Amino acid sequence: MTSSLSLYAPRESGLHRLHPLTKLTSALLGVVAGIALPGVWPNYAVFLLLLVPLAAWARVLPDFGRVVIKIALPFALSLFVIQGLFWTGGTPVVEIGPLSFKAEGLYFAAKTTGRILVVMGSITLFVLTTRPDQLMIALNQRGIPKTFTYVLVSAIQLVPRFQAKANAILDAQRARGLETEGGFVQRIRALLPVSIPLVLGSIVDVEERSIALEARGFSHEGPKTSYQVLVDTPIQRVARPVMMLGAVALIVGAIFVW
Per-residue pLDDT of the chain (258 residues; tens, 9 = 90+): 444 456 889 999 999 999 999 999 999 999 999 999 998 999 999 999 999 999 999 999 999 999 999 889 999 999 999 998 888 888 888 888 778 889 999 999 999 999 999 999 999 999 999 998 888 888 888 887 777 777 777 766 666 666 677 777 777 777 777 666 666 666 666 666 667 777 777 677 666 666 666 666 666 666 666 677 788 899 999 999 999 999 999 999 999 887
Q: Does residue 12 lie within any of the structural domains?
A: yes
In the chain, the number of structural domains is: 2
Query: Is the domain of 114 the same as that of 240?
Result: yes
Q: Which domain holds residue 88?
A: 1-130+233-258
Same domain for 207 and 109?
A: no
Verify that 23 and 121 share a domain, yes or no: yes
Q: What angle do CA 73, 180, 188 make, to 5 degrees?
A: 70
114 and 160 within one domain: no
What is the pTM (predicted TM-score) of this model?
Answer: 0.77
Answer yes or no: do 244 and 190 share one domain: no
